């Protein structure tokens, strides 16, 4: 596998070098296909991003930033970007293929998860965020659709389309990402930083344990109101005290008091369930 991947990693390639298979997903900018590199037989996923659609949305710079950031990342819990190329109409991002699909689908089919599985998943995401934050990168679009499953059941963070490089001590003010996962400081306009990823981890862990969103409402205005007050729908009493404390420490209004990746990985609930993950 290593050798076959060397035939595509960082190489200047063209669409004709690949045999395109089935569609595996669609996001707001890209359509993703499973593909096989003809010469080496390497399996990969190719995200196609239409240039005209990017232009109409004034988002041409987004792909360049996504490629710049994603191509610097090498960690087993982060989907690898092997290479990219373009033609007149599309950009093509050639990535590691995640055969297990989205974590969202797994939760819908098999959830809510037991505490052991929820803690394991939460720890895997925290470890990937620890790597990302150590590179001064904020993901900014963490949600169950952007966490994918490898063949061995381990998780991988994907979709760096909204990610930014942000030196420590600096803040961002623009609002982006899916409302249900957005942190209070990213809604209030007071500036935000890497702690927003930890809030999103809190939302996802709540979903693992309940199958539901913590601030759910059909009305977006109500969702916003609930987020800025951290008005969480109470966790069922069947959820343990330690799990509850962990989720509440991630869904902490004040970013300074919110768990960091390091703290999340040392949390008693995480340690109880995954000593070696």
Q: Do 49 and 30 meet the contact criterion of CB atoms below 8 Å apart?
A: yes
Does the bond joining 112 to the residue before it have cis omega, within 30 degrees of 0? yes
Of the residues 65, 145, 187, 228, which one makes contact with ligand ATP according to CB under 6 A: 145
45 binds ligand ATP (CB under 6 A): yes
Distance CA 83, CA 58 (A): 24
**Residue list, annotated binding site for ATP:** 47, 96-98, 145-146, 159
* Shorter beta-carbon distance to ligand ATP: residue 179 or 222: 179
146 binds Mg ion (CB under 5 A): yes
Among residues 6, 68, 136, 141, which one is catalytic?
A: 141
CA angle 200, 209, 32 (to 5 degrees): 55
What are the tokens at 143?
């949600």
* Sheet with 30-37: strands ordered across: 18-26, 30-37, 43-50, 90-95, 81-86
| CA-based radius of gyration for the chain | 19
CB of 97 to ligand ATP, least distance (A): 5
Class of residue 103 by CB neighbours under 10 A (exposed 0-12, middle 13-18, buried 19+): buried
- DSSP label at residue 248: H
163 binds ligand ATP (CB under 6 A): no
197 binds ligand ATP (CB under 6 A): no
* Shorter beta-carbon distance to Mg ion: residue 145 or 272: 145
94 binds ligand ATP (CB under 6 A): no
Residue 100 interacting partner from ligand ATP, Mg ion, none (CB closer than 5 to 8 Å by kind): none
**Residue list, annotated binding site:** 47, 96-98, 145-146, 159
Q: Which among 70-78, 145-153, 190-198, 269-277 is the span making contact with ligand ATP, rule CB under 6 A?
A: 145-153
Of the residues 27, 83, 217, 228, which one makes contact with ligand ATP according to CB under 6 A: 27
Distance CA 242, CA 265 (A): 14
CB of 212 to ligand ATP, least distance (A): 20
The site for Mg ion (CB under 5 A) is made up of 27, 146, 159
Question: Which residues does the annotation mark as catalytic?
Answer: 141
């Amino acid at each position: 596998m290593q050798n076959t991947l060397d035939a595509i990693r960082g190489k200047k390639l063209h669409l004709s070098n690949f045999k395109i298979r089935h569609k595996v997903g669609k996001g707001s900018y890209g359509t993703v296909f499973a593909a096989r590199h003809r010469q080496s037989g390497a399996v990969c996923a190719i995200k196609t991003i239409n240039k005209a659609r990017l232009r109409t949305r004034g988002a041409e710079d987004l792909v360049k930033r996504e490629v710049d950031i994603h191509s610097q990342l090498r960690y087993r819990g982060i989907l690898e970007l092997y290479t990219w190329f373009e033609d007149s109409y599309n950009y093509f991002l050639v990535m590691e293929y995640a055969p297990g699909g989205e974590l969202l689908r797994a939760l819908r089919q098999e959830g809510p998860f037991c505490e052991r599985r929820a803690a394991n998943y939460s720890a895997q995401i925290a470890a990937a965020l620890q790597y990302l934050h150590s590179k001064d990168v904020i993901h900014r679009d963490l949600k169950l659709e952007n966490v994918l499953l490898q063949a061995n059941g381990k998780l991988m963070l994907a979709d760096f389309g909204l990610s930014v490089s942000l030196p420590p001590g600096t803040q961002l003010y623009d609002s982006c990402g899916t409302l249900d996962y957005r942190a209070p400081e990213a809604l209030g306009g007071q500036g935000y930083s890497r702690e927003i990823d930890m809030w999103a981890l809190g939302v996802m862990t709540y979903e693992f344990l309940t199958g539901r969103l913590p601030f759910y409402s059909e009305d977006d205005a109500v969702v916003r109101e609930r987020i800025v007050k951290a008005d969480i729908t109470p966790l069922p009493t069947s959820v343990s005290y330690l799990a509850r404390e962990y989720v509440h420490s991630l869904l902490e209004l004040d970013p300074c008091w919110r768990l960091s990746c390091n703290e999340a990985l040392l949390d008693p609930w995480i340690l109880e369930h995954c000593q070696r993950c």
